Amino acid sequence: MSAVRLTVGQALVRFLAAQLSERDGEQHRLVAGCFGIFGHGNVAGVGQALLEAELADPALLPYRQARNEQAMVHAAAGFARASNRMSTLACTSSIGPGATNMVTGAALATINRLPVLLLPSDIFATRTASPVLQQLEDPASYDVSVNDTFRPVSRFFDRIWRPEQLPAALLAAMRVLTDPAQTGAVTLALPQDVQTEAFDWPAELFRERVWHVPRPAPDPAALGRAAALIRSASRPLIVAGGGVIYSAATQALQNFAAATGIPVAQTQAGKGSLRSGDPACVGAIGATGTTAANELARQADVVIGIGTRWSDFTTASRTAFAAPGVRFVNINITGFDAAKHAGAAVVADARSALDALAAALAGWRVPPEYRQLAARLAAQWDAVVTRAYAERHSPLPAQAEVLGVVNEVSAATDVVVCAAGSMPGDLHKLWRTRDPLGYHVEYGYSCMGYEIAGGLGAKLALPQREVFVLVGDGSYLMMAQELVTAVQEGIKLIVVLVQNQGFASIGSLSESVGSQRFGTSYRLRGPGGRLDGGYLPVDLAANAQSLGAEVLRAGSITELRAALIQARASDRTVVVHIETDPLIPAPDGGGWWDVPVAQTAALASTREAREAYESARQRQRPYL
């Protein structure tokens, strides 16, 4: 057997460049590039290997320079999501803080079931120079490092103590990245001395390898139980989750809904599984849902969850499904999620299951009066959205007005990216989706700071589309650095920066639990020692301009529309700044979210909130 002598870092890069994914006959680069920030630990190993690869062939494993380790993992997750999980990016860091900065990104990827490959550097395997700079020493064990914090947030973790261990670890990593039921963050911790060690590798390790992404078919007996349950229903409701989009099952869902007449509600990750305006679409469900979807959820006798993990926002903290005898059918590629709510579990790929279920239900439809009810409720909510978009508050606009203008100016295939604050909830209720990949809101971890980095990843995956990043001032201040990366790489983003002087979402939540928006406004400290003075003299537009972006300031909705049109015509990253009134809420969809309120308090506002909380949670159903 022929051998190739390379360092561990060089072998890693060459292996990654040769990996492909395949589904339905379509191949993709599994690892399409590498983000990295170099320091001691990876500069001499993976860094040197990436340099050699770039000099040999810049397209082999393209390297991109990031500004923040957490942000580069967010960008990789955004890329993976926009690629329907068929492709991802690797991220390399130095040891110590560079590595642990990636842990939040790893948690986000795993919670959202998004494949990312993390390559944090680690302590010396030989231990001769121990302790090295930035090393955590554990008196109980010499093989513990800060990288062990990746274990609970990774779907696969390994530390490569010797070169011989690398091939098995790489194959396991690729297996998990391409497993739709198990995917998430994959972490290979690389001791810095091991990265530079040379080894004679079998040449076949570097041959092109195709990883086939399966479409598991449903078990016939499970399918039969699900079909029988649906046939017994008079008021069924589909809840479409992210699994519908990731499995490219949107057309299958549209066909199924049209054939059966079952209305379709959507989770945050599943928004876009049906286009807004589709006869079956009743919009968002749950705590941030529409009145249409939530009313149908209250009446539903059978709920068909497809590719959803049933988060508390989806179930409105288990208050959404109120019919006494409601039953569930759970179609999911993971048995863990399919078994939730004591449902009839169908463990299968979403598209395979929908096609099979359509055949099993051939000729069956919901009663016409139920379909008419769903259509009427959907039309009523659509009118609410139209009014919210068109209202003109003064002196500052409402956030809903901003979303309406962005929705109007953006094209059908453009992408809107958001993650945290009040905007994800408003987008879930109000945004009119027109394409399965056009709605990109990270709400599994709802991580402040994801927005710009995630938008960068989405644009890398979908370069032909405009990407609109919607970010509030709170999230912008958390992590705006990847604007620099976008400028450096010539990657165009349209960032709509909404300035509302603090944390609008948590401010509203604080008020609802009787805490009077404490600590949620960006204010100077006043004479009494509290943060109740004037607003901070912060100019975020000037900050964005200092990072290299073109900046447009909008003082009104009319100016915002003109600025967005100008931004679409630009060929570089543009930040459009507008100030809004955080006290004007979006229309309420009737959902509830369980946030406990203090049981005893001196504040009358808190006592009143506790009474309302006790009343609301009477509707909770611990077992479904």
Residue-wise pLDDT tens digits, 125-183: 999 888 988 888 889 899 999 999 999 999 999 999 999 999 999 999 999 999 999 99
Average pLDDT in the chain: 95
- pLDDT value of residue 624: 65
Average pLDDT over residues 177-196: 97
Q: What pLDDT, on the 0 to 100 scale, is given for residue 459? A: 98
Give, as one character, the DSSP assignment of residue 3: E
* H-run or E-run covering 238: strand 236-240
- Split at pLDDT 50, 70, 90, the class of 285 is very high
* Integer Cα distance of 142 and 138 in angstroms: 6
The region that residue 248 occupies, defined by phi over 0 for left and psi between -120 and 50 for alpha, beta otherwise, is left
* CB contact at 8 A, 395 and 381: no
Which residues have CB under 8 Å from 553's CB, separation 6+?
A: 541, 559, 563, 576, 577, 578
User: pLDDT at position 79, please?
Assistant: 98
**Residues 585-621: b if buried by 16+ CB within 10 A, e if exposed:** ebbebbbbbeeebeeeeeeeebeebbeebeebeeeee
- SS3 state of residue 126: coil
Pick 3-212's CATH classification: 3.40.50.970, 3.40.920.10, 1.10.150.120, 3.30.420.40: 3.40.50.970
Sign, Cα dihedral of 182, 183, 185, 189: positive
Residue 467 near residue 459 (C-beta atoms within 8 A):
yes
Cβ distance 428 to 400 under 8 Å? no
What phi and psi, each to the nearest 5 degrees, are found at residue 495? -100, 120
Write out pLDDT tens, residues 534-568: 888 999 999 999 999 999 999 999 999 999 999 99
Q: What percent of the chain has pLDDT over 70?
A: 100
And the tokens for 165? 């261990």
Q: What is the pLDDT of residues 474-505, one digit of tens each?
A: 999 999 999 999 999 999 999 999 998 888 77
Name the band, by pLDDT with cuts 50, 70 and 90, for residue 66. Answer: very high
CATH T-level fold of 220-380: Rossmann fold (3.40.50)
CA distance 9 to 192: 10
What pLDDT does residue 506 have?
A: 80
In sequence order, what E strands does 377-419 have? 415-418
Tokens 């340099």, located at residue: 51
Residue-wise pLDDT for 412-451, tens only, equals: 999 999 999 899 999 999 999 999 999 999 999 999 999 9
Give the pLDDT confidence score for residue 1 in this predicted structure: 65
Chain-centroid distance, C-alpha 568: 24
For the packed helices 399-409 and 557-569, what is the interaxial angle rounded to 10 degrees? 30
Domains 3-212 and 391-525+536-579 agree in fold: yes
The domain limits of the chain are 3-212, 220-380, 391-525+536-579
Q: How many residues does the chain have?
A: 624
pLDDT at 622 over 90: no
Other Cβ atoms closer than 10 A to 18: 17
Q: Strand, coil or helix: what is 543?
A: helix
Which range has the worst mean pLDDT, 274-288, 365-379, 459-473, 517-531?
517-531
Q: How many CB atoms lie within 10 A of CB 42?
A: 28
- 3-class SS at 561? helix
Q: Which residues pair with 497 in a beta bridge?
A: 471, 577
Crossing angle of helices 450-461 and 69-82, in 10° steps, is 40
- Segment 373-422, tens digit of pLDDT: 999 999 999 999 999 999 999 999 999 999 999 999 999 999 999 999 89
Residue 186, helix vs strand vs coil: strand
> Which one, of 250, 253, 262, lies nearest residue 364 by Cα?
262
CA dihedral 419, 298, 510, 383 (to 10 degrees): 70
- pTM for the structure as a whole: 0.96
User: For 391-525+536-579, CATH number?
Assistant: 3.40.50.970
Cα 185 to Cα 177: distance, rounded to the nearest angstrom? 8
Under 8 Å between Cβ of 403 and 431: yes
- Answer yes or no: is pLDDT of 623 > 80: no
Helix axes 482-489, 450-461, angle to 10 degrees: 20
Arithmetic mean of pLDDT, 240-266: 98
